[in-house]
Structure 1
């Protein structure tokens, strides 16, 4: 697997048309001295995503920061996080939120944004001074960044747009804030986390087996957050595995990040890569995953397992999964197959990873199995606003659709799916009705509306319902608001509901 690399570009360098740092600081700084660096962590044909780092090279703490810059005509900030954003024309202003305003000497704080368009920031200031040091630049929105200011290529080539991350207002932490910058520090923080704690990752690569069994609470969730350039990698697995997966001395699961019996966590912003599995939740309900980047995994990207109910994954990117086992390379995996309930059926004999919401993510390309696999015995999830890129789907282990729905009562709406070569593709969305013990009406009562499907001249139906007789009294419903293009058979094989 290839390593993840992010290219850093100082905003001052973008102004000078050179991709090198340009920092001008006094020889004997009195008080805080703030400089700003932008790291373009993902790039696509029509935009990019960036992390912004505010660093204090002075000798006193800064108690707040305001970063401002212009974007050239044709480029806008479509979304941002970990800062309060305002805009006047092409001038953008970002102010710290309550918990990341203090920048101690030698330390840094971060926020991020997505851009629609490829223009780089211009005329940047931090607290009224130039982002690279020296006097504030004169605003000149007509200026454009030269091609020499472009950072190097992203880790994974992809023409699909990143999701639009909704701006959020992050509340102040209610527990300790733990800054980590090494694998050993991260392991210690995960092992000792208490309700309300915020674990903040510095940019860098973290190699190890990162597992926690520490629960948060509804009022005091635990947060693990970091920039996209904070990359968790597990080079395992190793040792002798137990009969059912659980943290065991002497065994490394190979999972990039594993929450076991750890409800009420928030995972935000960082990357998980080059691991056997990406993020795995076991009996870890009410976990919110947002703005993460999962790529180059041997098996699945994100797995809600062992009754990890009431979770959310939103505004994230998952690609290049199933590198070793293509048929098990799902993007997002909800629940467990009935054949695995002997291990994971901890709720009345079933894996009840119910009510999980999958919102506004980009999944694919090169997700080798289903982009979302909805397993039997799970109920009432929501799959909304996602973008599925079917390039690279393998067809192995019946993986030949964006979503395979074996669960019950899911709402699947306003998603956009495309397929193009290479890959094996049969239908956009499918249902199946496996028999299980305990028994459920699996694959029934699901609703599709407002989905847009382009089957690339290869796929048969946008939405194929395997059986109606097995869903008596709880039929699947396909609304006429769904659309399809380039299908060999049509929109669906059942009657459409107006």
Structure 2
């Protein structure tokens, strides 16, 4: 039988199609995780892992694990659920970023105290460099039938969004621990009693803001646990600070009240922190402390009063830097605490600030103290605390402040300089300050030494005025 040519071609073509058709393969996910440092400072860094799906199907759920070398530890994290033991850390996806679309990516971040970087990285139990996502039974090294280790799900989801509203101490603590650049944490009226620590590194373009009305009151009257001799955030230790910004940058604290704490606001190793409109009062030691080279900070439009209720000798209103005797702890830049260029603007400090209203420590430079009102009532005189401002730093401009003194209290001079370290306590300038010494103080501005500042003298301009002084405006030659 002769087969028609047209039918033969049809059969042959059909056979060709069958022979070359590819075998069908199931779509699958393929995950990889990469680490990057997002910022670095002298005693730590900010880091992030980005998880990329190189496959052709979505991946549901991820866990990144790694080790840190001894001496380094994760101090805070966000966009994940963190657990750990010793130097080993485990980060599971949060509720909102567990799905990684094909070709997509997600990320999470953390801060590290110390400079060691992650090693032995695993992603869902496989090397972070990538590969097909294992099945749920092989994603964990646990034995068959044993669920992977986990922590109980939080009763509320981790804070997210541009604005995070809080109304309890637990919510505030969680929000600060999970804060991300650009976020605002907004306090409702009420009392927040506990330990509140911020460690995230923000930027000038995307600061982290904690804000609330004066009726939102942060308290921390009872330190608990034990920590290192040189204070750093430590699990299980509450130093009794009202609010603590540590190893961070570009935080803004605005509007609320800090009261009944061992220390009011402590800023450690955190540049560009702004304190605006706070009311700090009834504090055991100092009210506000820029410490451990927290440069370029600002405190403005705030009220600081009733400090030193536990230790009058350490009840400074605003404390800039650290005494050289504490540089072993806080001298993290060239062996000194270089909390430089701090600005103290338009605040009311006093009454009953038991030590100096502003104590400017050696090792700091080029700050600005302007437009403040000092009420010296209640100054204790302990530990040589007998003036509104004691300047041991260099290159400060003290301008346009108004100071008064009315008993009770121990009061020697309005402003003083000292030179505990060679070359410091020099090159400072006073302009346009108004001083009422209450018939008790000797000089409005007392410069302890000129010989120790040869070539970089302190300068007092004639625009400064004084009333009710027992001696006069200043003990050095006035500059017209």
Q: Distance in 1 between matches of 2:393 and 2:229?
A: 26
Alpha-carbon deviation of 1:236? 2.0
Corresponding residue for residue 377 of structure 2: 391
Tell which structure's C-alpha radius of gyration is larger: 2
Matched with 2:322 is 336
Corresponding residue for residue 183 of structure 1: 169
Aligned to 1:277: 263
Q: Residue 327 of structure 2: SS of its match in structure 1?
A: helix
Shift of 1:237: 1.0
1:426 and 2:412 equivalent? yes
User: Is residue 2:301 matched to residue 1:319?
Assistant: no
SS of alignment partner, residue 307 of structure 2: coil
Is residue 2:282 matched to residue 1:296?
yes
- Determine the structure 2 residue equivalent to 1:462: 444
CA distance in 1, matches of 2:333, 2:197: 23
Equivalent residue for 1:287, pick from 273, 280, 285: 273
Within a 5 Å distance, the mapping from 1:38-57 to structure 2 comes to: none
Report Cα offsets for 1:138-192 as digits up to 9, x if no partner: xxxxxxxxxxxxxxxxxxxxxxxxxxxxxxxxxxxx9611000000000000000
Tell me if 1:205 matches 2:205: no
2:150 equivalent in structure 1? none
Q: Higher RCO, 1 or 2 (CA under 8 Å, sep at least 6)?
A: 1
Instruction: For residue 235 of structure 1, report the CA deviation from its aligned partner.
Output: 2.2
The answer for unaligned runs of 5 or more in structure 2 is: 1-159
Task: Work out whether 1:444 is the aligned partner of 2:426.
Answer: yes
SS in 2 for 1:341: helix
Q: Quick one: distance in 2 between partners of 1:460 and 1:235?
A: 38
SS at match of 2:173: helix
Q: So what's the TM-score if we normalise by structure 2?
A: 0.66
Give me the whole-angstrom Cα distance separating, in 1, the residues matched to 2:197 and 2:222.
13
Whole-angstrom CA distance in 2 between matches of 1:249 and 1:357: 32
Aligned to 1:492: 474
Deviations 1:233-259 (A, max 9, x none): 002212113110011122110000000
How many angstroms apart in 1 are the aligned matches of 2:165 and 2:171? 8
Give 1:86-485 correspondences, 5 Å limit.
Answer: 176-435=162-421, 441-485=423-467
Question: CA–CA distance in 1 between the matches of 2:218 and 2:339?
Answer: 25
SS at match of 1:342: helix
Shift of 1:197: 0.3
SS state of the match for residue 394, structure 1?
coil
Residue 22 of structure 2 corresponds to: none
SS at match of 2:284: coil
Once the two structures are superposed, residues 241-286 of structure 1 have per-residue CA deviations (whole angstroms, 9 ceiling, x without a partner) of 3110011122110000000001101110000000000000000100
Structure 1: stretches of 5+ with no match in the other structure: 1-173
- Provide the rounded CA distance (Å) in 1 between the counterparts of 2:221 and 2:236: 15
Deviations 1:289-348 (A, max 9, x none): 100000000000000000000011000000000001001000000000000000000111
3-state SS of 2:248 partner: coil
> Secondary structure of 2:283's partner?
coil
CA distance in 2, matches of 1:265, 1:258: 11
Taking the aligned partners of 2:278 and 2:376, their CA distance within structure 1 comes to 20
Q: Does the CA-based 8 Å contact 1:175-1:196 persist in structure 2?
A: no
Q: Following the alignment from structure 1 to structure 2, what is the Cα–Cα distance between the partners of residues 446 and 311?
A: 19
Q: Which residue of 2 aligns with 1:56?
A: none
CA distance in structure 2 between the aligned counterparts of 1:421 and 1:282, rounded to whole angstroms: 35
Aligned residues: 321
**Equivalence for 2:79:** none
Q: Is the 8 A contact 1:175 1:194 kept in 2?
A: no
Query: Is the partner of 1:266 in helix, strand or coil?
Result: strand
- In 2, the alpha carbon distance for the partners of 1:263 and 1:304 equals 12
Cα distance in 2 between the residues matched to 1:307 and 1:175 = 31
Aligned-residue CA RMSD in angstroms?
Answer: 1.0
